[in-house]
A and B are shown apart, each in its own frame.
Chain A
Amino acid sequence: MLETFSALFDGFAVCFSLENIFACIAGVLVGTLTGVLPGIGVTGAMALLLPLTYGMDATPATILFAGIYYGAMYGGSTTSILVNLPGEAASVITCLDGNAMAKKGRAGAALSIAAIGSFIAGTIGLVGLTFFAPVLADAALKFGPPEYFAIAMLGLVLLTNLTGKNALKSFLMVLVGLMLSTIGVDSVSGISRLTFGIPSLMRGLEFGVVAMAVFGINDLFGTLVEPQEKKEIGHVTLRELYPTRDEMKRSVGPILRGTLIGFLIGLMPGPAGTLASFSSYSVEKKLSKHPEQFGQGAIEGVAGPESSNNAASSAAMVPLLSLGLPFAPPAAMLLTGFIVHGITPGPTLITQHPDVFWGLIASMYIGNVFLVIINLPFVGVWASMLRTPANILMPIVMVITMTGAFATNNSVTDMVVLLILGVFAYFVAKYGYSMAPLAVGIVLGSTIETGLTQGMIICEGSVWKMMTRPLSGTILWLALLLVAATLFKPVKKLLINSKDD
C-alpha cells in the first residue's frame, strides 16, 4: 500500500512537466468536444490524433489519449441535457431527466451536477484502479460469454421497467432495437443480414445515428411543426444556474451508488458505459421515494448515470493496463497508442515502464480536475444558449445532426437512416412508445447475440447449464426474479378481479 502511494507520488512528479500538462489539457479538451459533437466518436478522434503523437514521447502521448477518453464522458452529457441529443452512447439516459430539467429552466443545475458527479466518480474510480488493478483484472476475466449475455439480459429487464407507462410497449421497443442491431454483417460469421444489397448497410446501423434520430430529430420535428406556446423562461440569475442545496443533497447518494455500479460494470467488455448508466438510472428509480418524478426532471436521474459512466471509463483502464486486453474500442485505440511508442501493456507494464504507468494514472486525476474546472463555468454559457428561440435553435441542431450523421462514416446512407428513423420515432413516440428502450436494444443487440451464441455453445446447448453456472446463473436468476416481481402486481389484480366475478 505504501509503495503504491510513493509510486503514485512519483507519477505526479512525472506529470508536472510542461509537455505532459499540455498533453493532458489538449486531451481533455478534444475529448469534451468529441463528447459534445454527435457523430464524432472517441475512437475516431483518437485515430485522427494518432499521427500527431508520433513525435511525442510515450508518456505525453498516452496521457493525451486517455484524456480524450474520459473527457468525452463529460462532454456527452452537455447536448443530452440541452437539446435531448446524446453525444455519446453512454449519455442516452441523461437525456430523459436531464432534458426534462432543462425544459423547466434547470439546465444549469443539471449540467453542474453532471460535471460534479462525473468528477467524483472519475476520481474514485481512479483510486480503485490505482490500488486494485491486478485483483480486479483477474476477477474481470472470470466473466465469459454466458455472463455477458446474463448481464445484458438483466440490463434489458431493468430497463423495460424504467420508461413509459407500459412495460409491454417498452419491451417491444427493445425488440425493435434488437432488430435494428441485426442489420449488417454479423461479426462472428461474416454473413450479411438484411442489407438488401446496399453496401453501406453492411457495417450496420451506427448507434450515434440511431440515437440522433430517435431522440433529436423526434424532438425537433415536434418543435417545428407543432403550435408552440410562448414560454418566456425569463432572466436566469446566477444562483439559479447552479444546483440548490436540496438538489445537491439528493445527489450525494446517486453519485456514490453510480460510482460503484459504473466501476463494476466498467470492468466488463462491451458497451460498459452505456450499461452502467442504465443500471444506475434503474437503481435510483427503485430506491427513490418519488419514483414518479423520474422522467420529469429528477436530479437523481442525472447524477447517478453521469457518475456511473465516468466510473466505467476509469474501470475500463483496468483490464487494459493490467492485462493488455482492451474491452472497448477506445481502449483498443489506447492500446495502439501504447504500442506505437514501444510499450506493451500487460502484466509487465508496471515493472518495465513504471513512469508511464504511474504518470498516466496521475494524469487522469489531474485531467478530471481540469474537466471540472473547464465545464463548470461554461454551464452559464450553455444554459444561455437555450434562450435562443427554439425555431432558430432547432434547425441548427438539425443541421448538426445531419452533419454528424454524415461525418460518422462519410456516408450519405447514414443521413437517410437518420431521416427514416426520425419520422418513425416521431409518430411512434406519441402513442406511448418510449425511445430509450430502443436505444438500449440497439446498443446491447450484438452483446446479447454473441453472448447467447457463444454462451450456448460453451454450455453445450443447455439453458439449465447457463442458469447453474455460478456467475451467469446468479445474474439470470436475479433477472427472472425481477420479471416475476413486476408481473406480480398485475397478475394479483387479475386474480382478485376474476374472483369477484
Chain B
Amino acid sequence: MLVEFDVVRRAQQGDSAAFNDIVLAYRKRTMGTIGRLIARTEDVEDVAQEVFLRLYFSLDQLRTPEVFEPWLYRLTVNAAYDYLRKQRRRPEFRMADLSEQQVMMADAVAGSKVEKDERQQTKLRETVNALLGAISESDRVLLLMKEVEGLSLRELEKIYRVKENALKVRLFRARQRVLKACGAAERQNENG
C-alpha cells in the first residue's frame, strides 16, 4: 500500500485532504498502467482523472481499506476498457491520414536521437496495439494486466472477481490469438 489504511478510512468519511493524499500517492502508477493499457499517451491523463473521479464517488462502497488496491485496479481496468470501447467506435487518426507536408514536418521534428527513440517506442506501441487488435478489448486489458503489469492470477482474481481457472482459460485463448496474429504479421513482413 502506498498510503496508510487510516488515510483511506478518512477519505471514505469525506476528508478531501485524505483523498488528495491518495491521488498524489497513486496517480503516477495509475497513469503508467493506463498508458500501457490504452497505448495512447495523449489521453492517459484524461482517463486517469476519470479513474480518480470514479474513486471519489465510490469510496463509500469500499468495505475495508485492506481491499483498496484491488478496488483501484478494478476502477482503472474499467475506465481503460470504456475508453478502448469508445475508441473502437471512433475513426483513428494515423500518420497515413496526414498530408505530405505534415509528414515532412513531423519527420523534420523527429530528427534528434531522443526523438528517434521516441519514434521507435511509438512503433513498438503501434505493433503491440495492432497485435492486440486480434482480441477483444476486455481480453486485451486482462492480458496486459497479466503480462505487462505483472499481476498474479490471485491478484487478477480479486480485481475481476472471477475464478482463477476461468481467468487462466481466457488468458490462454487471448495469448494464442495474439501469437496467431504475430505469425500472420511475420509472414506479411517476409512476403512484403
Partners in one complex: no
**Interface residues of A, Cβ cutoff 8 Å to B:** none
